[in-house]
Amino acid sequence: MAGPRKHVDFVSPDPEAEKRHRCGVLCFHPSCLQPCLNMKVFMVCFTFLGIFHGMSNSYFSSVIPSIEKRFNLSSKMMGVILAVNDVGHVLVALIVGHFGGR
């Protein structure tokens, strides 16, 4: 039976890696956000965003009949709108995954 696993922090052998990998958006990398640069904070944010996304999808699904009546749309047209919405989410996920992997 193996012993307990020890937690090992990643230490970059490249001193320039610290400057390249900073928490922020585009050119905005304030020092107050740098403690957020770890997997636990990412998972908490990802989980909350997933919960809010599910809540918004549930709300949108419940107001579809009202939108159809108000704007005189057919069910087929609403299906197209929902499909385009889902395709948009997939495209954004692919783009974020591509640029996030760099």
Q: Which domain holds residue 63?
A: 28-100
d(CA 57, CA 96): 21
Q: Are 37 and 21 in contact (CB under 8 A)?
A: yes
7 pLDDT higher than 80: no
Is residue 16, in this structure, part of any structural domain at all?
no
Is residue 36, in this structure, part of any structural domain at all?
yes
Task: Find the mean pLDDT for residues 72-78.
Answer: 92
Is residue 38, in this structure, part of any structural domain at all?
yes
Is residue 60, in this structure, part of any structural domain at all?
yes
Is residue 22, in this structure, part of any structural domain at all?
no
Is residue 77, in this structure, part of any structural domain at all?
yes
In the chain, the number of structural domains is 1
Please give, one letter per residue, the 3-state secondary structure of 52-82.
Answer: HHHHHHHHHHHHHHHHHHHHCCCHHHHHHHH
Is residue 52, in this structure, part of any structural domain at all?
yes
Is residue 19, in this structure, part of any structural domain at all?
no
DSSP annotation of 84: H
Burial class (CB in 10 A: 0-12, 13-18, 19+), 94: exposed
Q: Which residues pair with 25 in a beta bridge?
A: 28
- Between 10 and 36, the higher pLDDT residue: 36
Binned at pLDDT 50, 70 and 90, residue 69 comes out as very high
Note if the pTM is more than 0.75: no
